[in-house]
């Protein structure tokens, strides 16, 4: 199949960028979107031109490295699918495709389609963890966890940290990412002692990083390759309210959520 790509090229941090046009006469519907970019880079190499820079690693939809905005949609048109798992059979012959990087103040463009997502790491560093020094752990089965809670925790923990939620959000808000981690740890007994301190620290770090505010557009959920639900955003807000006006004593024994 024939495809026309307009790819954002930008030589470096705060350099001006522009769309470059590339025509691919012989793409195969079985190719992944990243393999399409590989193909363009092969031909660029032959012409001794710089390849299109884009992040990728696992190409299995799990590492969260890849991520480009395809025709205005982070990770492209297919639901619950990362760019690396998106295959060309979802495009039509002769289609024009516009490819852009994630755009957010908190995600500065480093080159072409590569952005710096360090802000997400900083949010986790601020409190997205359970403090459990190596060696200090009790026997694993000492604390039973209701299956329902374990499953809820897993649903939230499926987040791959790709940042598509931020890219899709009209406000460039990172609420879904933060909500996912807060809900994952908050759903488990192990996460209770730090629960309310955690949410305050993470929200602080989120604002620090320059993300926008959530006004409940729901675009993040639509773009999320792991289909993290905006219900978790409500949960995050509830935890913050609880933390601010009625914080239970730290270490208070666990009493379920939601």
Interaction between residue 218 and ligand F3S (CB under 6 A): yes
Q: Write the CA distances from 5 to 85, 104, 237, integer angstroms.
A: 18, 22, 41
- Residues numbered 13 to 42 that lie near other proteins (CB under 8 A) are 19, 28, 30-32, 34-35, 38-39, 41-42
Among 131, 227, 250, 252, binds other proteins (CB under 8 A): 131
Interaction between residue 257 and other proteins (CB under 8 A): no
Interaction between residue 84 and ligand FES (CB under 6 A): yes
Q: Which two tokens stand for residue 45?
A: 């190499």
**In angstroms, rounded to a whole number, what is the distance separating the alpha carbons of residues 15 and 112?**
10
Contact range with ligand FES by CB under 6 A, out of 59-67, 131-139, 198-206, 247-255: 59-67
Ramachandran category for residue 162: left, alpha or beta (phi over 0 → left; psi -120 to 50 → alpha): alpha
- The string of DSSP codes covering 67-121 is --EETTEET-SSTT--GGG-BGGGS-TT-EEEEE---BTTB-EEETTEE--HHHH
State in angstroms the smallest separation of the CB of 46 from ligand FES: 25
Among 28, 143, 215, 244, binds ligand HEM (CB under 6 A): 215
Q: Is residue 117 a contact partner of residue 68, using CB atoms and an 8 Å limit?
A: no
| Contact partner at residue 15 from other proteins, ligand HEM, ligand F3S, none, CB < 5 to 8 Å by partner kind | none
Interaction between residue 158 and ligand FES (CB under 6 A): no
Contacts with ligand F3S by CB under 6 A lie at 168-169, 171, 173, 175-176, 214-220, 230, 233
């Amino acid at each position: 199949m024939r495809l026309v790509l307009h790819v954002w090229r930008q030589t470096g941090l705060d350099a001006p960028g522009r769309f470059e046009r590339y025509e691919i006469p012989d793409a195969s519907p079985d190719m992944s979107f990243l393999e399409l970019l590989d193909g363009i880079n092969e031909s660029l190499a032959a012409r001794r031109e710089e390849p299109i820079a884009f992040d990728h690693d696992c190409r299995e939809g799990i590492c969260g490295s890849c991520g480009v905005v395809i025709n205005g949609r982070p990770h492209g048109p297919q639901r619950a699918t990362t760019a690396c798992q998106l295959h060309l059979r979802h495009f039509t012959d002769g289609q024009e495709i516009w490819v852009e990087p994630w755009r957010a103040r908190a995600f500065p463009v480093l080159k072409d389609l590569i952005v710096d997502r360090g802000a997400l790491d900083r949010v986790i560093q601020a409190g997205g963890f359970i403090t459990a020094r190596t060696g200090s752990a009790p026997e694993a089965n000492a604390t039973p966890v209701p299956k329902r809670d374990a499953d809820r925790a897993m649903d939230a923990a499926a987040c791959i940290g790709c940042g598509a939620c931020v890219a899709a959000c009209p406000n460039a808000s990172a609420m879904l990412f933060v909500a996912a981690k807060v809900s994952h740890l908050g759903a488990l007994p192990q996460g209770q002692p730090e629960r309310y301190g955690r949410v305050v620290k993470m929200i602080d770090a989120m604002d620090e990083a320059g993300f926008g505010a959530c006004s409940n557009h729901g675009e993040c959920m639509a773009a999320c390759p792991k289909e993290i639900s905006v219900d978790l955003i409500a949960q995050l807000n509830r935890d913050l309210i609880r933390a601010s006006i009625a914080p239970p004593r730290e270490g208070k024994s666990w009493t379920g959520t939601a």
